[in-house]
Amino acid sequence: MNILKNIESIRNDFPILSTKVNGNQLVYFDNAATSQTPNCVIDSISDYYKTLNSNIHRGVHKLSQLATEKYENSRKKFKEHLNANCTSEIIFTSGTTHSINLVSNGFIEFLNEGDEIIVSQLEHHSNIVPWQMLCEKTGAVMKVIPMNEQGELKVSEFLKLLNNKTKIVFINHVSNALGTINPIETVIEKSHAIGAAVLIDGAQAAPHFEIDVKKLNVDFYVFSAHKLCGPTGVGILYGKKEWLEKLPPYQGGGEMIDEVSFEKTTYAELPNKFEAGTPNIAGVIASGIGLDYINSIGLKNIKEYEDYLLDYATSKLKEIEGVKVYGESKNKTSVISFNIGEIHPYDIGSLIDNLGIAVRTGQHCAQPIMDYFNIPGTIRISFCFYNTIEEIDFLVKALKKAIKMLS
Amino acid sequence: MNILKNIESIRNDFPILSTKVNGNQLVYFDNAATSQTPNCVIDSISDYYKTLNSNIHRGVHKLSQLATEKYENSRKKFKEHLNANCTSEIIFTSGTTHSINLVSNGFIEFLNEGDEIIVSQLEHHSNIVPWQMLCEKTGAVMKVIPMNEQGELKVSEFLKLLNNKTKIVFINHVSNALGTINPIETVIEKSHAIGAAVLIDGAQAAPHFEIDVKKLNVDFYVFSAHKLCGPTGVGILYGKKEWLEKLPPYQGGGEMIDEVSFEKTTYAELPNKFEAGTPNIAGVIASGIGLDYINSIGLKNIKEYEDYLLDYATSKLKEIEGVKVYGESKNKTSVISFNIGEIHPYDIGSLIDNLGIAVRTGQHCAQPIMDYFNIPGTIRISFCFYNTIEEIDFLVKALKKAIKMLS
Amino acid sequence: MKIKDIQNQIVEEFDIFDSWMDKYEYLIELGKSVPIISPSNKKDDNIIKGCQSKVWLHADSDNGFVKFYADSDAVITKGIISLLIRAFSNQKPKDIIEAKMDFIDKIGLRQHLSPNRANGLNNMIKKIKFYAIAFSKTD
Amino acid sequence: MKIKDIQNQIVEEFDIFDSWMDKYEYLIELGKSVPIISPSNKKDDNIIKGCQSKVWLHADSDNGFVKFYADSDAVITKGIISLLIRAFSNQKPKDIIEAKMDFIDKIGLRQHLSPNRANGLNNMIKKIKFYAIAFSKTD
Ligand SMILES: Cc1ncc(COP(=O)(O)O)c(C=O)c1O
Ligand SMILES: Cc1ncc(COP(=O)(O)O)c(C=O)c1O
């Protein structure tokens, strides 16, 4: 689908985009935090509760059967989208954060004191803190791949960190704070060469381009539905079957067991082993609808259009005096982090918010990056395929107004 | 609100209740698995995505502010409903199962080899398996309170199990398989007397009567929104502040931290410490609306009406030849588990399903209870306040038809 | 008869009934003629997972033909397994392995079968194919 | 002047403006007159948590009256803290402790303040009250 030609009709699919703030049309540039939700996804949630709400997997009755089918059908959609080998490799969680914790918790069993794990300086807190907790529990040591001024990982430093004590490497595919696309192909290949597993945090990648887990040969790939036109409360964990089979269960409860007695409990097969309790059934089904929606537009088209917005916005912002953009890799997507002179990002954010522009200011859950640049935070704008050139022009005007008020 | 007088209008609030199955009106008797969802809850989810979808806590922009306010307002509602001391004592999780795992995982730090924990024979797997995993990790020993033929806990046996090695006792308030209301007041008092903590699994209690955590003086109380007219994917964990402060965080990620560096991370205050990552924002807000709905009917009225259904159904079922009811405590609520002669529950379930009656058959995630009675499972019917006497009469007719076909 | 022909025959038989009740009554009736598994083979190893009711399935080979024996504690399940046995017993391993399995859908019963059951059904079919594969190797 | 009167005065001043832009401009202007915290007191202990921008707040006691000093790296935050200081500085601990705090709402600014900020605002008010409580004990 040609996005530019169809932008009106695409925008009409998202009811929230017609919101007014202080008389201005809402401009939503906080897509890296969460994407907006198209009517088809909203409707699928209503339909679920109006026609088939029921607990899944456990019932002999029809509602339960229909709900189970739809739920499992959503798994199939993600399996196909990611090109996984089988549906057992797709685990539904409550979000990227949950997905990462599921894996990091499982690695307690595989790590000994002195083992090493590797993270990058570009990570979201969700891909740092669970591993710090893991290190505390196991005595493993965390090594950090540093970045350069452009906000790119220093691959040569990464290669130096790798050694036969390295057990797992976890980096994001795209940095949420800077938009850098990391060279995960190299990271995966080199890590595998010394026998380390790799987890890729794809929270900021999955909404913007195609992911082929088979081609990547990645061990774990995680992301959130709410950044992918889906609802809140759903995460996806892709794991290679061999890994998911080795990994101990994370939560105990209904559905994840085979037999329970007080003497001995045996666990269910994949994927149930990792889906204890009643899942977010409506949410998982709606996530599949969100994925369908994105695929109906096409990730190739999305990437192309968003790159166009990114280039345009970057050049327009740089025309404003005092603007400094953080993260200037040639390989980036959909995110611009910047500051203006000595003005605090919070001041800018507050003022342009009153003009109806939703941006994020602060550390973006990536404090190590802010520490690197020695700044309190940035203003971050992040795009989705429903954003427009006109919105960027309006942002530029609003920024100029804010700068005037603040100086 | 007088339910009997308003039953028509109450039923109209639940769109799914007008579903037809094979030409018959759906009769939904699987409420213990999940309750149906009123229009106000469904609408609140749509409204959320249409007017304020945004990531919470982190933004300076208006959508984020509004979403955060509504989210935190939901916390206030549950705080008031449960009569907790402060909103920090209410943690949102993804379900009862998640709530229990959060607590059991935290207890790893408090248990030493040889310490004892006490469970009852009446538990749902979700309140057994996480603690078995805990025992494996810590070397603690699990003791089981046995039950009698009526499906009641033997309190005298419980008192014998309690000793100064006991660290935590976890039982459900109401058994999902039998409907027994357990004497949790006694359990809490006696456990506290020897210094043990108590977790009550209220998944089957919260939908049916009022809970006052202050009066109960309980340490942890957990339940799921989806059984309380709310959406899937939301759980509530009440914890006494002292306990939640002592308990280590469960998941690492965004929002649950104060400061993050690779050297040292400090955790956020309650309740954020336990809510890592983007929560199920729409779900949490809708759960508050579901709670409002229930309170607009009134749990006193609900209890009274459901007791009336329970008594009527029990006596009607017992008139059918061969019916054996499991769980005959005087103190029970909303659930009837039974079998008919030697007929397999699955056969009955399949046949009456074709007549539009949704019941659950099997072990109800409570295998130890089935083992006690030495049966493969039961047929379970469970009520909500929208069920009617006419539905029970239809069930009785359907059962007679099924029995005829099967013999 | 060939597997395919038996399956068509079954589909035709069920076509006569137009209410689910009649279909179930017939299914229950058919369950009564399952070649019952011998007590010594009614062991845990032969239980099929994923069914709410217990299903035991055993097979042996008779002159290059596979013979199936089964039992279940639920009569509807017994009816379903009897259909499978009717279609696949006394057939050659190769034919079983290659057979299509969609006649259950055509009978219009799968829509009345829960996902638990459907899961169990898939596992029954899997087990039947496994037996056939095993015998195809020994023969 | 009494705290209540100062608060009313502030509310009246802001009432003159009817656009958010004018209000913010005035707020930014007011920020410039905050009694600046001395460098030695601009330490981590005096940082108020929960704000996106850094806010330092210090107080001392002068003949039974509490005096506040502050700073922030964001000018809007500085404007807000300047309002608080104007209302609560040079007052007796008891009066501060008992004072109502709703004038910020009345100015119509809270609706323009994010929950982070609102959180920060609550924490600023809390800290002001804590100082007052501390001095009420020593005096
Ligand atoms: C007593 C009891 N505990 C725990 C659970 C688990 O709840 P959930 O599946 O919502 O996590 C249930 C519901 O099935 C239950 O009935
Ligand atoms: C790169 C990255 N990782 C992890 C997360 C956490 O995702 P969630 O909050 O949905 O768990 C985010 C989103 O904020 C992110 O951008």
Which residue from A22, A351, A361 is facing D52, i.e. has the nearest CB? A361
Mean of pLDDT values over B41-51: 98
Query: Which residue carries 């008797």 as its tokens?
Result: B29
Q: What is the residue with the minimal CA distance to atom 12 of ligand 1?
A: B203
Helices (H) and strands (E) in chain C, counts: 6, 2
Q: Is D117 considered catalytic here? A: no
Could you give the CA distance from residue B305 to residue B387 in angstroms, rounded to a whole number? 9
Delineate the domains of chain A, giving CATH numbers in brackets.
2-30+298-400 (3.90.1150.10), 42-295 (3.40.640.10)
Q: Which residue of C has its CA nearest to A61?
A: C114
Least confident of A102-106, B36-40, C12-16: C12-16
The dihedrals phi and psi of B103, each to the nearest 5 degrees, come to -75, -45
* Atom of ligand 1 minimally distant from the CA of B226: 10
What pLDDT, on a 0 to 100 scale, did the predictor assign at position C114?
54
Give the type of residue at B95.
Answer: G
Query: Model confidence over B312-369: pLDDT tens digits?
Result: 999 999 999 999 999 999 999 999 999 999 999 999 999 999 999 999 999 999 999 9
User: What's the distance, CA A353 to chain centroid?
Assistant: 24
pLDDT exceeds cutoff 60 at B34: yes
The dihedrals phi and psi of A117, each to the nearest 5 degrees, come to -130, 150
The dihedrals phi and psi of A223, each to the nearest 5 degrees, come to -160, 175
Residue in A224, A228, A367 to alter for ligand 2 test, most ligand atoms within 8 A of Cβ: A224
Q: Hey, is the C-beta of C20 within 8 angstroms of any chain B C-beta?
A: yes
What pLDDT, on a 0 to 100 scale, did the predictor assign at position B118?
98
pLDDT exceeds cutoff 80 at C139: no
Give the length of chain C. Answer: 139
Task: With cut-offs at 50, 70 and 90, classify the pLDDT of residue C120.
Answer: confident
Closest CA to B171 of B139, B204, B214, B148: B204
* Residues with a CB atom less than 6 Å from ligand 2: A 32, 95-97, 124, 126-127, 172, 176, 201, 203-204, 224, 365; B 254, 277-278
Higher pLDDT, B125 or C116: B125
Cβ(A294)–Cβ(B166) under 8 Å?
no
- Using CA atoms, how far residue B146 sits from B120, B197, B272, B320, in Å, is 6, 20, 38, 30
Question: How near does any CA of chain A get to the CA of C75, in Å?
Answer: 15
pLDDT exceeds cutoff 80 at D139: no
Which ligand minimizes its atom distance to the CA of A55? 1
Q: Which residues of C93-129 are buried (b: 16+ CB within 10 A; e: fewer)?
A: beebeebebebbeebebeebbbbbbbbbbebbbebbb
Give the pair of three-digit tokens for residue A310: 């990114």
Residue in B35, B97, B153 to alter for ligand 1 test, most ligand atoms within 8 A of Cβ: B97
Q: Which residue of A has its CA nearest to C50?
A: A258
Q: Hey, is the C-beta of A51 within 8 angstroms of any chain B C-beta?
A: yes
Give the pair of three-digit tokens for residue A204: 């900021």
Interface test with D, best of A346, A352, A401 (most D CBs within 10 A): A346
Q: Which residue of C has its CA nearest to B379?
A: C52
Task: With cut-offs at 50, 70 and 90, classify the pLDDT of residue D117.
Answer: low
Distance A228 CA to ligand 1 centre (A): 29
Task: With cut-offs at 50, 70 and 90, classify the pLDDT of residue D105.
Answer: confident
What pLDDT, on a 0 to 100 scale, did the predictor assign at position C106?
85
What pLDDT, on a 0 to 100 scale, did the predictor assign at position B364?
93
Give the type of residue at B256.
Answer: M
Mean of pLDDT values over D20-30: 92
Sign of CA dihedral B340, B345, B346, B349: positive
Percent of chain D with pLDDT over 70: 91
Q: Hey, is the C-beta of A400 within 8 angstroms of any chain D C-beta?
A: no
Give the pair of three-digit tokens for residue A349: 């954010």
Neighbouring chains of B at 3+ CB pairs within 8 Å?
Answer: A, C, D
Q: Report domain extents, chain D.
A: 3-136
Distance A368 CA to ligand 2 centre (A): 15
pLDDT tens series, chain A, 407 aa: 899 999 999 999 999 999 998 899 999 999 999 999 999 999 999 999 999 999 998 777 889 989 999 999 999 999 999 999 999 999 999 999 999 999 999 999 999 999 999 999 999 999 999 999 999 999 999 999 999 999 999 999 999 999 999 999 999 999 999 999 999 999 999 999 999 999 999 999 999 999 999 999 999 999 999 999 999 999 999 999 999 999 999 999 988 888 889 888 899 889 999 999 999 999 999 999 999 999 999 999 999 999 999 999 999 999 999 999 999 999 999 999 999 999 999 999 999 999 999 999 999 999 999 999 999 999 999 999 999 999 999 999 999 999 999 98
CA geometry: angle A70, A74, A79, nearest 5 deg: 145
Q: Is there contact between C and D if contact means ≥3 C-beta pairs under 8 Å?
A: no
Q: Hey, is the C-beta of D114 within 8 angstroms of any chain B C-beta?
A: yes
Neighbouring chains of A at 3+ CB pairs within 8 Å?
Answer: B, C, D
Is B253 in contact with A101 (Cβ distance < 8 A)? yes
Adjacent-strand bridge partners of A224 = A235
Which residues from chain B sit within 8 angstroms of residue C74, using beta carbons?
344, 346-347
Whole-number average pLDDT of chain D: 88
Mean of pLDDT values over B293-309: 98
Q: Hey, is the C-beta of A112 within 8 angstroms of any chain D C-beta?
A: no
Query: Model confidence over B156-210: pLDDT tens digits?
Result: 999 999 999 999 999 999 999 999 999 999 999 999 999 999 999 999 999 999 9
Query: Model confidence over B206-242: pLDDT tens digits?
Result: 999 999 999 999 999 999 999 999 999 999 999 999 9
What pLDDT, on a 0 to 100 scale, did the predictor assign at position D52?
79
Count contacts between B and D (CB, < 8 Å).
21
What pLDDT, on a 0 to 100 scale, did the predictor assign at position C117?
53
> Strand B20-21 to strand B24-25: parallel, antiparallel, or no bridges (unpaired)?
antiparallel
What HEC string does chain D produce?
Answer: CCHHHHHHHHHHHHHCCCCHHHHHHHHHHHHCCCCECCHHHCCHHHECCCCCCCEEEEEEEECCEEEEEEEECCHHHHHHHHHHHHHHCCECHHHHHHCCCCHHHHHCCHHHCCHHHHHHHHHHHHHHHHHHHHHHHHC
CA geometry: angle B387, B393, B399, nearest 5 deg: 110
Distance A102 CA to ligand 2 centre (A): 15
Residue in B103, B126, B175, B236 to alter for ligand 1 test, most ligand atoms within 8 A of Cβ: B126
Give the type of residue at B21.
Answer: V
Q: Which residue of B has its CA nearest to C25?
A: B405
In this structure, whether the domain defined by C3-136 belongs to CATH 3.90.1010.10 is answered with yes
What is the dihedral angle through the alpha carbons of D133, D134, D138, D139, rounded to the nearest 10 degrees?
-40
Query: Model confidence over B81-113: pLDDT tens digits?
Result: 999 999 999 999 999 999 999 999 999 999 999
Q: Report pTM.
A: 0.96
* Residues with a CB atom less than 6 Å from ligand 1: A 254, 277-278; B 32, 95-97, 124, 126-127, 172, 176, 201, 203-204, 224, 365
Whole-number average pLDDT of chain C: 88
pLDDT exceeds cutoff 70 at B129: yes
Could you give the CA distance from residue D30 to residue A169 in angstroms, rounded to a whole number? 51
Q: Hey, is the C-beta of D74 within 8 angstroms of any chain A C-beta?
A: yes
What pLDDT, on a 0 to 100 scale, did the predictor assign at position D112?
61
Whole-number average pLDDT of chain B: 96
Catalytic residue from among C3, C37, C51, C128: C51
Give the type of residue at B103.
Answer: V
| CA end-to-end span of chain A | 45
Closest CA to B82 of B229, B232, B294, B273: B294
Query: Model confidence over C108-118: pLDDT tens digits?
Result: 776 666 555 55
What pLDDT, on a 0 to 100 scale, did the predictor assign at position D103?
86
Is A233 in contact with B281 (Cβ distance < 8 A)? yes
Return the half-sphere exposure (C-beta side, CA atoms, 13 A cut-off) of residue C127.
25
